[in-house]
Amino acid sequence: MPRIRIFLLLLLLNCFCNSAIAQSEEISDAKIDELINQACLHLNKSNFEKSLINSRAALNYAFLKKDDYLIAKCYRIIADNYNELSEFDKAIFFYNKTLSYANETNNDSIRYGIYNNLGNIYCFEKKQLDKGIRYYKKSIAYGLKVNNFKHVYFTNMNIAWVYFDIGHFNEGAPFLKFINSYQKRDGDKSSPIIVNMLNGMFYSYKNDYKGADTYFKKAIESGKKGDEQSNLSYAYLEYSNFLLKNRKYKEAYENLSLYNKITEELYGQEKLKKASVAGFNLELDEYKREIDKIENEKITQSQSLKKSKIIVVLFILISFIFLILIFTLYKNIVIKKKANEELLKAKEIAEEASLLKTQFISTISHELRTPLYGVVGITDMLLDEHKELYRSQYLSSLKFSARYLLSLVNDLLQINKIEENRVVLENSAFNMRDEINMIKNSLSFLSKKNNNQVLVNIDSDIPEELIGDKLRFGQILMNLVSNALKFTKNGEVIIMASLVKIEQDNYFIEFQIKDNGVGIAIADQGKVFDKFVQVGRKEEDYQGTGLGLSIVKKLLQLFGSTISLKSDIGEGTLFTFTIPFQYSTEKIQIIIDEIDFESNNLYKILIVEDNIINQLITRKIIEKNNYKCSVVNDGFSAIDLLKKEEFDVVLMDINMPLMNGFETTRRIRSIGILTPIVALTAFDKDEIADEAISSGMNDIIIKPFESEKLFKIINNLILEEKNVGC
């Protein structure tokens, strides 16, 4: 049956494969090239026996070399041989073999020819038109992919031929038009035979006998000038059909005889017999490969079975251990159940666990804040008593670091509180330049450790004094700069602040923290702001909790802002965010006036505190403001002293031995003493607020604290008490 097959071109066969003749023999590139070239040449001359022999040798070489592309090439030549020999089932088998190996490579050039030839078989031989057309379309797609327009041209020629062969001339007409249009550009020396033949068939369908006769004669004339005997035979056959249709029986018989003569020359019985022998040997090789494959699979399965047995044994052993653990657990549960029949249900257990967690956090919070109160207080005392240390960057760094650590502890222990938006920003007047420089100085030890330089660039348009939550702002900046210093070595970290816009009293300042450190991979950039996530630990342990950037993100949300990140591995990292701060000379003056609590009145303050260091620090803070101060160690002593003397305010610790601050306050109130009492404690305010109010306390202040805030509370309570007395 007619078809245009796309064979392997000799120019595309300059590849290397192995020979099965002698496995120990060194593989020669020239020998491999010669084998493949000879196989193609013999196929083009219809010498199928020699083509199959050479293909078989080349295939064995290719398998020894384990080169998928070469194996696909060899299978392709074998499939083409069977296609020419009209053994179409075998051809399909080997074409599919070709595809299976070709799909393991990135080379698309071999695929389009395979799909074209499969289209020929299914359309012309199997009469499965839909399946054949699908193969043709795949062939065209791959031809376009590799920019082989000549191949696209020949596949369109085959499609036209298919439709004409089954009598669907109108469906094949567009494809005929295509090949007529691009004959000069994409055709070759053999294409005029088929193009003219197809035009002859179409004109015959249109009953234009003169035109059809002309095209058929042109096809035959072109075939006589070239070597394409197979295509010439198709032209004789179709011309014979045309003459028979027009009742020119003698001429029809002559052309049919010429068709049979060429066919006999190309596919003689002797050739087919020899090819059958060569093909038989090749098929034996294929069966042997399949047997070897099955044997290898058996070996693999045997090894897998051994592993499976080991896994089963391990599973049984683990299951046995697991059963022992379950039995032990069950036994323990039974014992506990007998010991306590009134064990709470799951909900009650969960509530109890939650309560224990709250108590644990409360205790940890108290235990961490108490020593921090000592650090901050002693630092302030040193600065007050030794003015020469005022400009010491080490002492300033110590003070700032202690305050930062306090803020970090609060956020770590109360991160759920931040997520629930129960943290409120505070407004205070501060100098942004001083704050940034303090952060820079406090991190000097870290910058020196990694031999880094910290540079500060602040827009001159930014006012000196701003209003905002400087502690939260400092925490954001501290986290980002310390992070940059940790992940940078022998480099620099730049802190930039730029004024981007002004809206009424709000100054929107853009901050950028830039480093030239290790950078963050794109895959990790989406998760660095998650809690407990740390990246960049493959080569070195950078330490840290993995909460820094998460806290930064949440604190910026409180400011109504977001943070952006740009980074590349080895190129450094840039964090950018914008915070609106207020600037108003009137508001700044009001805030400064509010914290000026110096008084000429000599107030008497009673401190109830069991911690010696805290006593010393609180007393220093009180006496510094010209107040008279008395200190007792416990609640009983406080009650006894209040019965004898009058005080303006009582500063009451909560966690004391013998009797805690709540109970002490209740007893003070029960004997009619109305002196204002302020809870001075390291517990979180939300945890004790209800009990403090119910016990009779007037206010709460958390240690460590700003002394200005304490004196503001004291003055307000004293003033309120005097107004009530009036």
Long-range contacts of range 204-209, CB-CB < 8 Å, 24 or more positions apart?
Answer: 204/242, 204/245, 205/164, 205/169, 209/246
Cα distances (angstroms) measured from residue 475 to each of 411, 434, 554, 654, 662: 10, 14, 12, 29, 33
Residue 10 pLDDT exceeds 50: no
Rounded CA-CA distance 50/77 in Å is 12
Residues 448 and 579 grouped into a single domain: yes
In this model, does residue 23 exceed pLDDT 50?
no
Residues 6+ apart with CB under 8 A from 583: 463, 465, 466, 467, 505, 507
Would the pLDDT of 400 be above 70? no
Q: Is the pTM of this model over 0.75?
A: no
Q: Same structural domain for residues 586 and 599?
A: no
Kindly state whether residue 116 falls inside one of the protein's structural domains.
Answer: yes
pLDDT above 90 covers what percent of the chain? 23
Structure confidence at residue 90 (pLDDT): 85
Please give the pLDDT value at position 668.
Answer: 94
> Is 73 found in the same domain as 9?
yes
pLDDT of 1 above 60: no
| pLDDT tens, position by position, 426-463 | 787 888 898 898 888 878 877 888 899 999 999 988 99
Q: What is the CATH number of the domain that holds 620?
A: 3.40.50.2300
Higher pLDDT, 476 or 10: 476
Q: Does residue 586 sit in the same domain as residue 666?
A: no
Q: Does the pLDDT of residue 617 top 60, yes or no?
A: yes
| Residue whose pair of structure tokens reads 């990135």 in the numeric block | 106
| Nearest to 710, CA basis, from 670, 687, 686, 676 | 676
Q: Is the pLDDT of residue 503 over 80?
A: yes
Final residue of a domain: which of 591, 621, 642? 591
**Helix, strand, coil proportions of the chain in percent (round to 5)?**
65, 10, 25
Output the six-digit token pair for 60.
Answer: 């064995």
pLDDT (0 to 100) of residue 18: 39
| Co-location of 473 and 619 in the same domain | no
Residues 513 and 449 in one domain: yes
Are 440 and 532 in the same domain?
Answer: yes
CB contact at 8 A, 677 and 652:
yes
Percent of the chain scoring above 70 in pLDDT: 75
Bridge partner residues of 573 (DSSP)? 515, 567
124 and 222 share one domain = no
Number of domains present in the structure of the chain = 5
Task: State residue 594's pLDDT score.
Answer: 55
**Domain shared by 580 and 451, yes or no:** yes
| Residue range 76-105, pLDDT digits in tens | 888 888 887 878 888 889 889 888 888 888
Query: pLDDT value at position 561?
Result: 92
What confidence tier does 597 reach under pLDDT thresholds 50, 70, 90?
Answer: very low
Is 193 a member of any domain? no
Q: What's the pLDDT at 365? A: 59
Q: Does some domain include residue 8? A: yes
**Domain of residue 248, CATH code:** 1.25.40
Q: Is the pLDDT of residue 487 over 60?
A: yes
pLDDT of residue 16: 35
Split at pLDDT 50, 70, 90, the class of 574 is very high
Range with the poorest average pLDDT among 27-36, 155-164, 247-256: 27-36
pLDDT grade, residue 633 (50/70/90)? very high
Say if 704 falls within a structural domain: yes
Per-residue confidence at 190, pLDDT binned at 50, 70, 90? confident
Q: Does residue 707 belong to any structural domain of this protein? A: yes
| Lookup: tokens for 406 | 């306090």
Looking at the structure, tell me whether residues 256 and 241 fall in a common domain.
Answer: yes
Q: Locate the DSSP E strands across 387-523.
A: 428-431, 453-458, 465-468, 492-503, 506-515
Tell me: the pLDDT tens digits for 488-499? 999 999 999 999
Higher pLDDT, 506 or 405: 506
End-of-domain residue from the set 267, 282, 300 = 267
Return the pLDDT at 227. 75
Instruction: Tell me if 661 is assigned to some domain.
Output: yes
Q: What is the mean pLDDT of residues 269-287?
A: 57
Closest CA to 163 of 124, 195, 113: 124
Task: Please state the rounded mean pLDDT for residues 365-393.
Answer: 66
CATH of the domain at 439: 3.30.565.10
Report, as an integer, the average pLDDT of 44-72: 82
Q: Assess contact for 123 and 133: CB atoms under 8 A.
A: yes
Asked if residue 15 belongs to a domain, the reply is yes
Q: For residue 677, how far is the Cα from the chain centroid?
A: 57
Q: Is the pLDDT of residue 21 over 50?
A: no
Higher pLDDT, 701 or 400: 701
Q: In the prediction, which pLDDT does 51 show?
A: 85
pLDDT at 350: 53
Dihedral of CA 98/99/102/107: which sign?
positive
Residue 328 belongs to some domain of the structure: no
Which pLDDT band, with edges at 50, 70 and 90, does 474 fall under? confident
The predicted pLDDT at position 725 comes to 59
Do 612 and 571 have their domain in common?
A: no
**Average pLDDT over the chain, rounded to whole?**
80
pLDDT of residue 104: 86
Domain limits for position 440: 425-591
Task: Indicate whether 576 pLDDT > 50.
Answer: yes
- Higher pLDDT pick, 279 / 51: 51
The residue among 535, 567, 591 that closes a domain is 591
Asked if pLDDT for residue 599 goes beyond 60, the answer is no
Give the confidence band of 540 by pLDDT, cuts at 50, 70, 90.
low
The answer to whether the beta carbons of residues 236 and 265 sit under 8 Å apart is no
Lowest model confidence (mean pLDDT) among 134-148, 205-219, 517-531? 517-531
Query: How far is the C-alpha of 502 from the C-alpha of 496, rounded, in Å?
Result: 18
Q: Which range among 197-201, 237-241, 285-289 shows the weakest confidence by mean pLDDT?
A: 285-289
Q: pLDDT per residue over 646-685, tens digit each?
A: 999 999 999 888 899 999 999 999 999 999 999 988 777 7
Assess whether pLDDT exceeds 50 at residue 20.
no
Under 8 Å between Cβ of 433 and 465: no
640 and 709 in a single domain? The answer is: yes
> At residue 523, does pLDDT exceed 70?
yes
End-to-end CA distance of the chain: 122
Average pLDDT of the segment spanning 139-158: 88
